[in-house]
């Protein structure tokens, strides 16, 4: 096993259940998919001993209290809680949680918030001068309460130095997968995403570390195997003729079967897979456009431009500016 990574998740009354269990499941699967080498150890920390009732009514049993969290942490993960307001839900700010986050954050290698947990980070002063995201329904509240924070309600997650903030609810999975990718590389993150059956496309144009299949499994295992082959060999010859030969079918019959099973032509599916790879590289790396085009199988910068304009209605540079997740 690599160096153990201590992942402490704050839990408190009415915390959103998925914001806690979603990341914990991602880290557990990362351990399993890596044969234990990922080294994640998840601990739940609560204000007091005993069960913690979540927003879903399910009770969680914390491993330790806030006062018992001593020593260095790899990651401090802060979910949130909401309460009804006159204009919709509002993030709940618990002073005890804020004080503990402020005190514990300096001992953590990185700090991440999930959903409205960004409000707790902001109240602790950790987001001043940074760009952050949160659930779209409380973004206006975050901006109004903390003018020193640049609030962007659209991205699934935002990284600013060692501070990460995630968008609402199920985006906690994307954030956790991004943390795994930072620690152990994208291959492990994608392996975990496959186990979670996370889909290729996310709302808002983002596509953080999702399974490289844009539709559910088909009725034919050979087509599913071919789709995995496409995802893992984007820089290979993926023409209809080459794929038909791999399937031992005539090109015409192969095209008909593939479209019947996936709803796409082989060419459209391959382009979508290559654009997805290009998007991940634009979001998560500073690689120049010619290397992005080559690594994603699109070949040239000109082809990269055409494919992104056709599928996303934007240019590579504009997409990178909008959805960049790592530090500028």
Catalytic residues: 115
Supply the DSSP symbol for 284: H
Distances (CA, A) of 54 to 59, 64, 66: 6, 17, 17
Three-state DSSP state, 170: coil
Alpha helices in 197-250 (DSSP H): 221-232, 240-247
Q: How far is residue 149's CA from residue 90's CA, in Å, rounded to a whole number?
A: 17
Q: How far is residue 107's CA from residue 69's CA, in Å, rounded to a whole number?
A: 10
Taking the CA atoms of residue 24, residue 28, residue 29 and residue 30 in that order, the dihedral angle to the nearest 10 degrees is 100
Which residues are paired to 165 by β-bridges? 113, 158
Distances (CA, A) of 4 to 1, 26, 42, 114: 8, 16, 10, 22
Q: How far is residue 171's CA from residue 277's CA, in Å, rounded to a whole number?
A: 19
Q: 88 phi and psi, to 5 degrees?
A: 120, -175
Provide Rg for the chain, Cα atoms.
21
Using the CB atoms, write b or e for 132-167: b if 16+ within 10 Å: bbbbebbbebbbebbeebebbbebbbbbbeebbbbb
Q: How far is residue 229's CA from residue 195's CA, in Å, rounded to a whole number?
A: 17
């Amino acid at each position: 096993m690599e160096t153990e990574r201590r992942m402490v998740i704050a839990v408190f009354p009415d915390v959103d259940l998925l914001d806690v269990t979603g990341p914990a499941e991602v880290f557990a699967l990362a351990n399993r998919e890596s044969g234990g080498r990922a080294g994640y150890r998840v601990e739940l920390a609560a204000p007091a001993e005993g069960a913690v009732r979540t927003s879903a009514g399910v009770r969680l049993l914390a491993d330790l209290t806030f006062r018992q969290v001593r020593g260095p942490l790899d990651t401090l993960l802060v979910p949130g809680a909401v309460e009804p307001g006159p204009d919709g839900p509002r993030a709940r700010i618990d002073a005890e949680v804020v004080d503990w986050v402020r005190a514990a954050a300096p001992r953590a290698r990185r700090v991440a918030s999930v959903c409205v947990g960004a409000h707790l980070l902001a109240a602790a002063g950790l987001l001043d001068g940074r760009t952050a995201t949160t659930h779209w329904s409380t973004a206006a509240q975050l901006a109004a309460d903390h003018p020193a924070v640049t609030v962007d309600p659209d991205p699934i997650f935002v990284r600013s130095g060692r501070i990460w903030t995630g968008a609402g609810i199920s985006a906690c999975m994307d954030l956790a997968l991004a943390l795994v990718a930072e620690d152990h590389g994208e291959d492990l993150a994608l392996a975990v995403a496959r186990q979670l059956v996370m889909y290729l496309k996310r709302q808002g144009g983002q596509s953080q570390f999702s399974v490289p299949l844009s539709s559910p499994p088909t009725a034919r295992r050979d087509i599913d195997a071919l789709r995995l082959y496409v995802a893992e060999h984007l820089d290979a010859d993926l023409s209809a003729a080459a794929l038909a030969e791999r399937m031992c079918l005539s090109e015409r019959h192969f095209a008909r079967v593939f479209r019947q099973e996936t709803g796409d032509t082989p060419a459209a599916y391959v382009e979508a897979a290559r654009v997805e790879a290009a998007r991940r590289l634009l979001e998560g790396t500073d690689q120049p456009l010619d290397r992005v085009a080559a690594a994603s199988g699109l070949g040239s910068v000109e082809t990269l431009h055409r494919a992104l304009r056709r599928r996303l209605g934007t240019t590579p540079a504009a997409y990178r500016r909008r959805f960049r997740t790592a530090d500028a």
